[in-house]
Amino acid sequence: MIILLLALLGFATADSDWIANPNHKFKNFTIDQLRSILTPLPKNFRPSINKLTPSNYQSTNTTNSTLPLDFSWRDTAPECMVPSLDQGECGSCYAHASVHMLAERLCISQEHHVNKTRQAVPLSPDFVMFCDPLAYGCNGGMISQVVDFLSEDSSDSYVPPLECIKSFGNETLKSCPEHKCPPKDHRLVKCKPGSKVQLFEVEKMKEELLKNGPLVTQMVVYEDLLSYQAGVYEHRQGSIIGGHAVLITGWGYNHKGEEFWEVQNSWGADWGENNGFFRIKVGDSEIATQLFGGALACEVISKETIFYERLFMQ
């Protein structure tokens, strides 16, 4: 059954700070197709009874805070933002968000390196989907468990560049795919063992975000988010479809003085604003709340794989 509600959403009401696109990319998706791009929620899942507002959190808008009122890695270091990939009809958001965090944090950490132009290199979400033994491929996964996998003291948890593992689309593999990197030097990336951090207070999240880079988190997706085009999203209409993993890249305040997160999504550069990003009111849709495990990050390490070209001379 087509979700007709989504075709009708093309509004910016007086009490809404966001604009919907009536011709969004999910307009003709069936409910099963929509669920396929999200992570299933437990049958007994219930969102918070009391709608979360910034007042539920430790305030950062005080004279004692050393944090800026707004910040964005997208604006501060655009060279460290990897393109917003499109996960397609595959529930791989957990893998996309996790490897985006690694790639962007690695680039940001290179700020003080001399004689080197930094540039984020996209990493392979398929590696996480099929090489993490506790991931479920296109059927979803948990970011906390993924960060644990990436933090293992093992060479098997280094993530290769995107170009080293082809995309398998909606296919689910039974084993870790072979790395077929092009003939050039490249870096493998992972979390430093023991460096995983899990944060539940907004101020702590902002401090970590400002110091070290984007945070991975989870949220619920209501029907109306699919039609988002621009502005600060706040759930207005529709039911919960499933869970979703995303990357927090910044924060700010709207004209009402309400906090929002800037978020990088994995629905492609043709969705949302600024090539695949969206803004969402802090606490809305359970984003980064305790119910979904707050926000997570790690210290990123890498190792270089050097390609040696052999010259055969007659």
Nearest-angstrom CA–CA distance, 28 and 68: 41
What's 297's DSSP letter?
E
Size of the chain, expressed as the number of residues it contains: 314
Instruction: Give catalytic status of residue 24 as yes or no.
Output: no
Nearest-angstrom CA–CA distance, 163 and 160: 8
Tokens of 228: 């988002």
Instruction: Give catalytic status of residue 265 as yes or no.
Output: yes
The catalytic residue among 56, 244, 255, 274 is: 244
Residue with tokens 């707004």: 70
Please name which of 194, 42, 181 lies closest in space to residue 124, comparing C-alpha atoms.
181
With a CB cutoff of 8 Å and minimum separation 6, the contacts of 8 are 22
**String of DSSP letters for 188-225:** EEEEPTT--EEE-SHHHHHHHHHHH--EEEEEEEEGGG
CB 127 within 8 A of CB 140: no
The catalytic residue among 23, 265, 274, 275 is: 265
Determine the Cα angle at 77 with ends 180 and 192, to 5°: 55
CB 160 within 8 A of CB 263: no
> Within the chain, what is the greatest distance between any pair of CA atoms?
77
Nearest-angstrom CA–CA distance, 29 and 3: 8
- Residues designated as active site: 244, 265
